[in-house]
Structure 1
Amino acid sequence: MSSENDWNEDLCGCMNDGGTCLYGFCCTPCLFGANAEKISEKNCCLMCCLYLVLGSVYLCWVPHYFERQKLREKYNLKSNPSCGDCPTTLLCSPCALCQEARELKARESVQRSALKANNNQPVVSQPEANSGEADHVNMRV
């Protein structure tokens, strides 16, 4: 049984990244689309439009709920026991989108750092077979 990871970002920690906070509150559908593209490789523009259309009938939380669950599954993140994904996306959608964007940014930064560190490692390759061994293999066939 694998343990769940804690979120790196708090739901109400929007002021930790003013740019993301401003983006999330000025263009919430756009941030949703950008997050959906990073989480599940969906079309950013299409997801933005979907959020916008569903927002006009107060249902934008539905696709947001599913994307948030995918994010939690992708990184094995804990659900908030006091306020699960459904109430979070329904009642705090802009804050939740900002939290998700900051979480994605933090995890992408860690992945980039790990990739840079691995590129500095020496490459170990298998030695080539000498010609005598290759001839021996060909004679068997």
Structure 2
Amino acid sequence: MAAVQTAQTPLIDWNTGLLDCFEDVSTCCYGFWCCPCLACTVSGRFGENTCLPLCDIITPAVFSACITMRASMRNRYGIKGSLCKDIATGCFCTWCSWCQMHRELKERKKGFTLRKYKKIYRYNK
């Protein structure tokens, strides 16, 4: 039998580091002063239920939304990491994790917008 090889895209790093708060001061302030609101914003922008992070307050499974969201984001965008790192980050650096995910989504939105305009420009030539 012949072995089937699949082409995988290489994994990439996060756009910013976990502790790179001063790369985007507005996100840092938003996370510091109202982390639950930032978490709901990230959840909504990622396409999940906006109130998903609020379930952590109600249920005894502390930090589950942060860990789940982080793992989902890594898998969707092909970002390096592991579930163990997601758990550690979600448990010990929750606010920084939400800020990093928010910065990631902001950067991806910028990239999408630029690609979109380049396509329009290319077709209008």
Unaligned runs of 5+ in 1: 124-141
Partners of 2:95 and 2:44 in 1: how far apart? 17
Larger Rg: 1
Partners of 2:52 and 2:119 in 1: how far apart? 34
Aligned to 2:64: 62
Identity among equivalent positions (%) equals 28
Deviations 1:86-141 (A, max 9, x none): 00000000001111101110111011000011111226xxxxxxxxxxxxxxxxxx
TM-score for the superposition, normalised by structure 1: 0.75
Q: 1:28 to 1:53 in 2, by over 3 A?
A: farther
Where in structure 2 are the equivalents of 1:76-87 lying within 5 Å? 76-79=78-81, 84-87=85-88
Partners of 2:61 and 2:55 in 1: how far apart? 12
Say if 1:29 and 1:52, in contact at 8 Å, map to a contact too: no
Partners of 2:111 and 2:9 in 1: how far apart? 21
Aligned to 2:96: 95
Aligned to 1:43: 49
Partners of 1:30 and 1:120 in 2: how far apart? 37
Unaligned runs of 5+ in 2: 1-7
Amino acid at match of 1:101: H
Partners of 2:91 and 2:68 in 1: how far apart? 12
- Say whether 1:33 aligns with 2:40: yes
Say if 2:12 and 2:78, in contact at 8 Å, map to a contact too: yes
Say if 1:30 and 1:48, in contact at 8 Å, map to a contact too: no
Partners of 1:116 and 1:51 in 2: how far apart? 39
Say if 1:9 and 1:102, in contact at 8 Å, map to a contact too: yes
Partners of 1:32 and 1:63 in 2: how far apart? 9
Deviation, structure 1 residue 77: 0.2
Say if 1:29 and 1:51, in contact at 8 Å, map to a contact too: no
Amino acid at match of 2:70: R
Deviation, structure 1 residue 47: 2.3
Partners of 1:48 and 1:62 in 2: how far apart? 8
What is the aligned residue count?
117
